[in-house]
Amino acid sequence: MAARDDDEQLTAPVGPVVSSAHLANSSLPALSEIEFALTMANHAFQRWTVRCMAAAGGPAMSPLEVLIVHLVNHRERPKTLSDICLVLNIEDTHLASYAIKKLVEHGMVRTGRSGKEKTIAITEEGVRLCRRYGEVREALVVQAARQLGHDPADLSRIAAVLRALSGAYDQAARAAASL
């Protein structure tokens, strides 16, 4: 009898892969699949960024610090705190301020002024570290992703969908705050 039950379990449909079946029981269960995938991807990505930065020879950094140092290095021009928070969709500016303070202490970025605004610029050490991070990323993640055979155009479409969904979640967050 037990063997038959095991066989039935192996052939039973699995259903959507979610972390919260009660939320998947909705008019759009696929959204719960996306949410679970985002959760898994977010944690994996944060773990990766921290370990890649360490492998590149950087100091111990938080995932947010890694994102900020790359953003400040982006296009080789200083950023303001509001630029950083806007681009990275950070609501709590004190989190970004603290990360920037730590990056200054590590010598990765420096602060300055443009008129009345405080600016954050990359240092030579920060540029060097971002370059090395890129080399490690190319060797470990980019090559692995290429071996999976994903069409780059598909990856771009997935990114566009995720950006659009982030807008829907932001709008829903504003609506929920008014309830």
- How far is the C-alpha of 17 from the C-alpha of 55, rounded, in Å? 33
pLDDT of residue 3: 58
Q: What is the pLDDT of residues 10-58, one digit of tens each?
A: 666 777 888 888 888 899 999 999 999 999 999 999 999 999 999 999 9
Q: Is 9 a member of any domain?
A: no
Domain coverage including residue 158 = 30-173
Q: Is 17 a member of any domain?
A: no
For the purposes of burial, counting CB atoms within 10 Å of the CB of 32, is it exposed (0-12), middle (13-18) or buried (19 or more)?
buried
- How far is the C-alpha of 179 from the C-alpha of 172, rounded, in Å? 11
Q: Is 105 a member of any domain?
A: yes
pTM of this structure = 0.88
pLDDT of residue 19: 87
Q: Is 42 a member of any domain?
A: yes
Q: Is 123 a member of any domain?
A: yes
Q: Is 116 a member of any domain?
A: yes
Q: Which two tokens stand for residue 56?
A: 């590149």
Taking the alpha carbons of 124, 103, 58, 148 in that order, is the dihedral positive or negative?
Answer: negative
Number of domains present in the structure of the chain: 1
Q: What is the pLDDT of residues 82-141, one digit of tens each?
A: 999 999 999 999 999 999 999 999 999 999 999 999 999 999 999 999 999 999 999 999
Q: Is 127 a member of any domain?
A: yes
- Assess contact for 84 and 68: CB atoms under 8 A: yes
CATH of residue 57: 1.10.10.10
Q: Is 118 a member of any domain?
A: yes
